[in-house]
Chain A
Amino acid sequence: MSFSPDDVTRLARLARIDVADDEARDVRDKLDAIFGLIDALQSIDTAGIEPMAHAQDVMMPLRDDVVTAENRRELYQAQAPAVADGLYLVPKVLE
């Protein structure tokens, strides 16, 4: 599969990465190279093989339903750019 510059622009927007128009071509070429590898993988016959969801064949560890975390708001908020009344402040968002 190969990417168009429009695909690159769209992906960049979805990922919130600023890709300038003159960079789009270069990024596209790099993505095409990566997808070339994926194309090579896809040429392997995997009929009848159950898809993996994880690189390691391990079981999900589970924890008991117990509250173990303490309130460390002050510590966490010490690093935040802006807080008020215990809230993290961000530029106004409205749907």
Chain B
Amino acid sequence: MTWEIVIGIETHAQLSTASKIFSGASTAFGAAPNTEASAVDIALPGVLPVLNRGAVERAIRFGLAVGGAINRRSVFARKNYFYPDLPKGYQISQYEIPVVRGGAVTIATDAGEKHVRLTRAHLEEDAGKSLHEGLPSELGGVSGIDLNRAGTPLLEIVSEPDMRSAAEAVAYAKALHSLVTWIGICDGDMQEGNFRCDANVSVRRAGGALGTRCEIKNLNSFRFLAQAIEYEARRQIELIEDGGSVVQETRLFDPDRGETRSMRSKEDAQDYRYFPDPDLPPLTIDDAWIQRIHSAMPELPEAMRSRLVAEHGITDYDAAQLTASRELVDYYHGVCKALPAADTASHKLVANFVLGEFAAARNRADVAIAAVPVSPADVAGLLRRVADRTVSGKIAKDVFDAMWAGEGDADAIIERRGLRQISDARAIEALVEHVLAANAPIVAEVRAGKEKAFNSLVGQVMKASKSKANPAQVNEILRRLLAR
């Protein structure tokens, strides 16, 4: 009997506003404790929340980007629970009428493209932070509360249970992450907790009714998301196959052990007693506002991907890779603009380089694109020398590494290191003659029809030229001289 895994994801994306959702306090990360907690954020009596226009604007932008409906009227509600880092005793969220309803996110799966439907997206405030460790040792038995994060705007994005594997869940989370950063509503820093996922996981016999689900909270990396889902699905299947049944509950993922464990079961689960917040009248959004935001929307990743294929002539695969991140595709465009020719050959050269050498170097150094020491114009300078055959692709890698290490621009490095490609037929002929003379047994093998032996001769010539000979010319001259 085969099992099917059913996954829905709730994502909390921190919106990139300068100030909080209901107060004028700063949202900047890393400030000293409680220095960014205003009277509203710490819930002093008599204060009132005033909604941040920037937060609403970002929610609308998201709704438009996923093709959802923007509710012209939505309602803020109080979600009641007690915890020391929630000073009001309730969190302001949206319940019955969220700002965005519906929409979908497209993901790539092994079986082709798939649309993951969204249920809704709603605005809410974040809570503060509780610190249980690192307090002065004479203060035993206390927790410290930092309310800097309290009131930070969040967009909670809820998907339908449309995913069927950990891989699909990760593809969805990555696509969503790429989208919210692309449209500039969230900076997406997962380590700072700006983009965190809760996964609802259940299992069922293929084609059967939906099983009981468990919710795994606060997964702040794609790797943890995959590990948690895989562990949880296995746990549920084993439980059912052993004759047990799954209890609906909230679970936490322990990255050190690679397993999920029970946090609280829904039986004694919180009853949040939602009700409309009397401090906040309904949020009304008119068509003109939506239209203004719509006309200022950047080109979305999918549209840009199709355009790059049609206009730049690069492959769909490359276009998909490039448009996976706004910063990456901006870099690609930066290099293209700095090249003299805007033809297919140049675009392909740039795409190959940005997705190949550039990506590899960035992974090695483990730096964000903004921190890469080589500018798009500098890369263009190097690719110009590849295009006019001053250097081969292989040498270009060395030049790029030198540029990364701060040794100057491509032309300076090529001159200083004498890396100019040898295209002088006579010089190459001399090298070939030398290699032929020194490798009589291999020459005999080639003449006997062994193609591998030919490649070995090419390699020898390239080595003799310190990789500077034009490979196409080496091939041609070798063939000609062998045929004598």
Contacts and interface: CB of A to CB of B under 8 A. Distances in A.
Interface of A: 14, 16, 53-56, 58-69, 71-73, 76-77, 82, 84-95
Contacts of A94: 132, 143
Nearest to A56: B281
B283 to A, nearest CB: 5
Interface in B11-63: 17-19, 23-26, 32-39, 42, 44, 50-56
A86 B18 contact: no
A62 B84 contact: no
Contact of B145 (A61, A71, A90): A90
A88 B132 contact: no
List of 8 A-B pairs having minimum Cβ-Cβ separation, nearest first: A65-B54, A68-B24, A87-B144, A86-B33, A69-B38, A53-B75, A62-B53, A69-B25
B276 interface: yes
Q: What is the predominant secondary structure among interface residues of chain B facing chain A? A: loop
B145 A88 contact: yes
Contacts of B33: 85-87
Contacts of B55: 65
B51 A71 contact: no
Contacts of B80: 14
B19 A67 contact: yes
Contacts of A64: 53-54
B34 A65 contact: no
B53 A65 contact: yes
Contacts, number: 129
A93 B84 contact: yes
B334 to A, nearest CB: 29
A89 B142 contact: yes
A89 B143 contact: yes
B84 A90 contact: yes
Contacts of A53: 75, 97, 276, 281-282
B257 interface: no
Given A89-B145, A90-B84, A91-B142, 16 more contacts: A14-B273, A53-B97, A59-B281, A63-B24, A64-B54, A65-B17, A65-B52, A67-B26, A69-B19, A69-B26, A73-B37, A76-B37, A84-B139, A85-B136, A88-B147, A89-B144
B144 A60 contact: no
8 contacts: A54-B282, A58-B281, A65-B53, A66-B19, A76-B42, A84-B135, A84-B144, A89-B143
Contact of B51 (A55, A63, A67): A63
B281 A69 contact: no
A14 B271 contact: yes
Contact of A73 (B18, B34, B53): B34
Contact of A92 (B25, B143, B278): B143
Contact of A90 (B44, B142, B263, B278): B142
